[in-house]
Amino acid sequence: MMENLKTKSIITAIALSLVLASCKAPMATVIKDEVKENLPQNFNEEEQSDVNINSGTTPWKQFFTDPNLVALIETALKNNQELMITLQEIEIAKSGVLAKKGKLTPTVSAGIGAGVKKAGRYTSEGAGDATTEIEPGKEMPDPLGNFEGGLMANWEIDIWKKLRTEKEAAVAHYLSTIEGKNFVLSNLIEEVANNYYELLALDNQLDIIQQYVKLQQKALEISKIQKEAAAATELAVKKFEAELAKSKATEYTIRQEITEKENEINALCGRFPQPIVRTEEDFMSMIPQTVYMGIPSQLLANRPDIKQAELELKAAKLDVEAARKEFYPSLEISATLGLEAFKPSYLVKLPESMATSLAGELAGPLINKSAIKANFQTADARQIQALYEYDKTILKAYLDVANLMSKIKNIDQYYQLKSQETHALEQSIDIANQLFRNSRADYLEVLLNQRDALDAKMELIEAKEKQLSTVVDIYKSLGGGWK
């Protein structure tokens, strides 16, 4: 009786020690998301946005109307290697959820075994076996065999909900990989569209330079005629020859850029080099889509990179909670059910050969908890890091839209002024050529006017490309492209 009371007292003391030890578990750092709380209500205080209109929610097939561009995007979404890699990240994260979920249920395994053992004669086990009869007149075998087979089960009881917390963290990480995939989709569509518009711009620049080459050839012919008539010098002829050679060299440079740009698009589409089918529509007559900004708070729901960072922050917080619960005692239950005998023929003798066991274990860390503390401190630092990453993503998203809003206005003004400059210089070319034919202007005036007109046309094409690309960029920055 006294021994039983003593045993119960020891067990109670151990359990109390475990509980007291768990009470000393460190507290996680309390983090506050000030960036999200202080997010402005509008992108521009001077302009109030319509909450009901936000281009970021427009599906990409409705936003892009060029059928050739749509076909390229569809090909990229099917074949892009970076997207395929991201899809595998989702599968990895899904497996992580299944692994954490599996820890909540008992682990059951089946096994068989065989062995042989010889105990020393002058040991308690050997002496006992020597004086024991299996059946009347039949001594215990020496050496003694052992044959067994059965089921074994182990189960950690989730008394502190540590395993459930780990599963929730894995689910949050899995959902963040889905948002990461959406962000890759959005970036991929933006890249294909921007490269497509850059390719169209290069096509137009090639047309312009080819027209300029023809213009220089005519100017060269006129200068030669004027030289023969003593109205011009050899210097004028050589200057026009040099300008013609320079223009032809520029043509080949643009051709190379077109080839490289086509292959950039092919790389995004995950295919070997092949011609890119372009629209027959005049590039310079393309009208950029009208973009509606909405309000900044909609970025939190529209942009997949923000949602990904938010879910990673949630997972990090849950990881801290799970790491803290490692300081608590854990309860494990193990059980076995099977057959065991020293001779295979005895295994079928029931119930004598049946062997069972059931045990429960409550264990927790008391001393030398440096590894658990290190894991907790790492998880705590990672949740703070995840908060900074989340705040950085929100701030970047807001600044992206603010910058592009300003850019789209300024590029429109820039395009209008470049159009005026180009028109004026085109008129000056005709005037300069007429004066040159009548020997009322020298070749330098003609060359300078032609060069200025060429530069203005090239810059006008670049301005048109920037107009179109800026609209694509702001569409992506508002969270569009992945739906």
Amino acid at 437: R
Whether the upstream peptide bond of residue 143 has omega within 30° of 0, thus cis, is yes
Between 260 and 136, residue with greater pLDDT: 260
Q: Identify the pLDDT of residue 232.
A: 65
Q: Identify the pLDDT of residue 165.
A: 94
DSSP E strands: which ranges in 308-394?
Answer: 330-341, 354-363
222-231 contacts at long range (C-beta below 8 A, 24 or more positions apart): 222/433, 222/436, 222/437, 223/443, 226/439, 231/439
Q: How many other C-beta atoms can be found within 10 angstroms of the C-beta atom of residue 63?
A: 20
Q: Is 52 left (phi over 0), alpha (psi -120 to 50) or beta?
A: alpha
Largest CA distance in the chain: 142
Is 107-157+331-363 a domain of CATH 3.40.190.10?
no
**Which architecture, in CATH terms, is 26-105+158-329+374-478?**
Up-down Bundle (1.20)
Give the tens place of pLDDT for each residue, 283-334.
999 999 889 988 999 999 999 999 999 999 999 999 999 999 988 888 899 9
Q: Which residues pair with 155 in a beta bridge?
A: 333
What is this structure's pTM? 0.84
Q: Report residue 221 as tokens.
A: 């012919």
DSSP states along 208-262: HHHHHHHHHHHHHHHHHHHHHTTSS-HHHHHHHHHHHHHHHHHHHHHHHHHHHHH
pLDDT at residue 392 tops 60: yes
Q: What are the sequence ranges of the domains in the chain?
A: 26-105+158-329+374-478, 107-157+331-363
pLDDT at residue 1 tops 60: no
Q: Identify the pLDDT of residue 369.
A: 82
Average pLDDT rounded to a whole number, residues 174-197: 96
Q: Report residue 343 as tokens.
A: 């001779």
Contact at 8 Å (CB) between 78 and 109?
no
Contact at 8 Å (CB) between 248 and 241?
no
Cα separation, 114 vs 129, in Å, equals 19
In degrees and rounded to multiples of 5, residue 335 shows phi and psi of: -145, 150
Give the tens place of pLDDT for each residue, 344-387.
888 888 888 898 999 988 887 877 688 899 999 999 999 999 99
Q: Identify the pLDDT of residue 2.
A: 47
pLDDT at residue 85 tops 50: yes
Strongest mean pLDDT among 41-55, 150-164, 165-179:
165-179
Q: What is the mean pLDDT of the chain?
A: 87
Cα separation, 372 vs 388, in Å, equals 25
Q: In what order do the strands lie in the sheet with 107-117?
A: 107-117, 144-157, 330-341, 354-363
